[in-house]
Amino acid sequence: MNKSSAAIRRAFHEFFAERGHEIVPSASLVPANDPTLLFTNAGMVPFKDVFLGREQRPYNRAVSAQRCVRAGGKHNDLENVGYTARHHTFFEMLGNFSFGDYFKRDAIRHAWAFLTETLELPAERLWVTVYADDDEAAGIWLDEIGVDPARFVRISSSDNFWSMGDTGPCGPCSEIFYDHGPEVPGGPPGSPDEDGDRYVEIWNLVFMQYDRGANGALSPLPKPSIDTGMGLERMAAVAQGVTNNYDIDLFRRLVDAAAGLVGTDDRASSSLRVIADHIRACSFLVVDGVLPSNEGRGYVLRRIIRRAVRHGYKLGVSDPFFWRLVEPLVGEMGEAYPELAEHQALVERVLRLEEERFRETLEQGLRLLETDLKDLEGDTVPGETVFKLYDTFGFPVDLTADVAREQGLHLDMEGFEAAMTAQRERARAASVFRAEYGGAADFGGTTEFSGHAVYEDAAEVIGLYRD
């Protein structure tokens, strides 16, 4: 078959539709009715209430390609981006689901058939893990599928017990890894150097059996169910014979576009990869109604934008550039996600404004950091510096940490917290003063909005954001 990202997405849908699964479109990155969750971080999120038995659907098998963001909350991969070959802040998770219908046996058989028959991956490259005491899953893999015990591992850590968040549906899981071969550093699952990029986790089959309550206790779900998640970008890398996600079709073109804009030829630059990653997260977050702000989801978006802008600056860009990547992104993903194409102009404006705003202080902030680091003894950036950058120059802490990490430094977070607390005390004293003397009242800003109707007047949205 054709091995493009789009073809893999399509083949996945078709494979499961032929096996009785309803094709369900991707839901928003902002979870509906779930204040416990920052962003949709897995394909199962829109089905959470179905697993819990609170919501009925006219089908009991589903397949989806769900857009996900892991840049905050329980699953946070922001720090990995630019450093591993396989983590993104935004990615697509392909998944098949059974709501009280089939369980372990069919989940395993379907996954194996899709990988070895549809995608024609060689079985010798695939490794399988199960939760340590899950003899049932082990038996299916070893005795029925015939996986070589040399590439089969029982894992007792939380890696093989999947949870969406601190509460909600969860259960033991079985994961499938692909071995990219000895040229890539890293050890097999369960080994001390498993964090490398050689053995890449491609698919997680979760055997949903429990609901974790607020007190941490597990109670059985009404019906055992299946939730699986496969990273489309990782699968595309495997299918396309490349060992780095940023070398797949979709990312290669985004990285090329970024390289053209910033004027570099170094396609392997990690800054370019960070930028190519972040344009997807930022664009889709805006499409889903998140706007840059100083709190909650909006602050996560702001942090990602500022990080991307800083990497552009590092590569020597002087004019706002980030927003210009929206167009090539629409070219790559607008067909699969028409809402992206539809809101292109809005996304461009939001990103451009945020970049223009931050550029005013970015350079000054970096200069201050350089000065403060010149006489530094040891490898810790003082909390006062981190705070000054945050408070005066709008540097999110993770951005400062990103710069520091490039120089082998880390941040004095305790010192930062102390400076923050002192600042809060000062602000409190000042606000008493304001109240007493009739100064301007404080009012909370709007961090996000929902419903596409709002987009009808983009100018209004921008006005809202500008305040």
Q: Which CB atom, from 77 or from 412, has the smaller least distance to ligand ATP? A: 77
Does 60 bind ligand ATP (CB under 6 A)? Our answer is no
Among 112, 127, 203, 387, binds ligand ATP (CB under 6 A): 203
For the chain, how far is it from start to end, CA to CA, in angstroms? 51
Verify binding: residue 28, Mg ion, rule CB under 5 A: no
Report the distance separating Cα 308 and Cα 295, nearest Å.
19
The DSSP code sequence of 139-153 is HIIIIII---GGGEE
Q: Would you say 88 or 180 has its CB closer to ligand ATP?
A: 88
Give the Cα separation of 19 and 33 in Å (integer): 31
Q: DSSP secondary structure string, 118-139?
A: IS---GGGEEEEEETT-HHHHH
Q: Select from 311, 333, 334, 330 the least CA-distant residue to 321.
A: 311
| Inter-CA distances, 177 with 27, 125, 188, 232, 458, Å | 27, 8, 9, 14, 44
Question: At closest approach, how far in Å is the CB of 229 from ligand ATP?
Answer: 3
Is 204 a residue that touches Mg ion (CB under 5 A)?
Answer: yes
When binding is defined by CB under 6 A, the residue of 31, 169, 224, 231 that contacts ligand ATP is: 231
* Partner whose binding site includes residue 91, from ligand ATP, Mg ion, none (CB under 5 to 8 Å by kind): ligand ATP
Q: What's the rounded Cα separation, in Å, for the pair 254 and 346?
A: 20
Binding of residue 297 to ligand ATP (CB under 6 A): no
Specify whether the backbone of 320 is left (phi greater than 0), alpha (psi in -120 to 50) or beta.
Answer: beta
Residue in the block written with tokens 């199962």? 44
Sign of the C-alpha dihedral, residues 444, 450, 455, 456? negative
**Of 134, 227, 233, 288, the one binding ligand ATP by CB under 6 A:** 233
Among 46, 169, 189, 229, binds ligand ATP (CB under 6 A): 229
- The only residue of 29, 164, 230, 399 in contact with ligand ATP, by rule CB under 6 A: 230
- Closer by beta carbon to ligand ATP, 230 or else 389: 230
Q: How many chain residues bind Mg ion (CB under 5 A)?
A: 2
Between 201 and 348, CB nearer to Mg ion = 201
Does position 44 interact with ligand ATP (CB under 6 A)? The reply is no
Residue 123: how many other CB atoms lie within 10 Å: 13
Q: Is 48 in the site for ligand ATP (CB under 6 A)?
A: no
In the list 48, 77, 121, 293, the residue contacting ligand ATP (rule: CB under 6 A) is 77
Which residue has its beta carbon closest to ligand ATP? 231
Record the tokens describing residue 265, joined without a space.
């030829």
Note whether 269 binds Mg ion by CB under 5 A: no
Q: Identify which range of 2-10, 57-65, 87-95, 458-466 contacts ligand ATP by CB under 6 A.
A: 87-95
168 within 8 A of 48, measured Cβ to Cβ = yes
> Considering the rule CB under 5 A, would residue 89 count as an interface residue with Mg ion?
no
The closest residue (CB) to Mg ion is 204
Contact 433, 338 (CB under 8 A): no
Alpha carbon 308 to chain centroid, angstroms: 15
Which residues in this chain contact Mg ion in the complex, by CB under 5 A? 201, 204
Which residues in this chain contact ligand ATP in the complex, by CB under 6 A? 42, 70, 75, 77, 86-88, 91, 93, 201-204, 229-231, 233-234
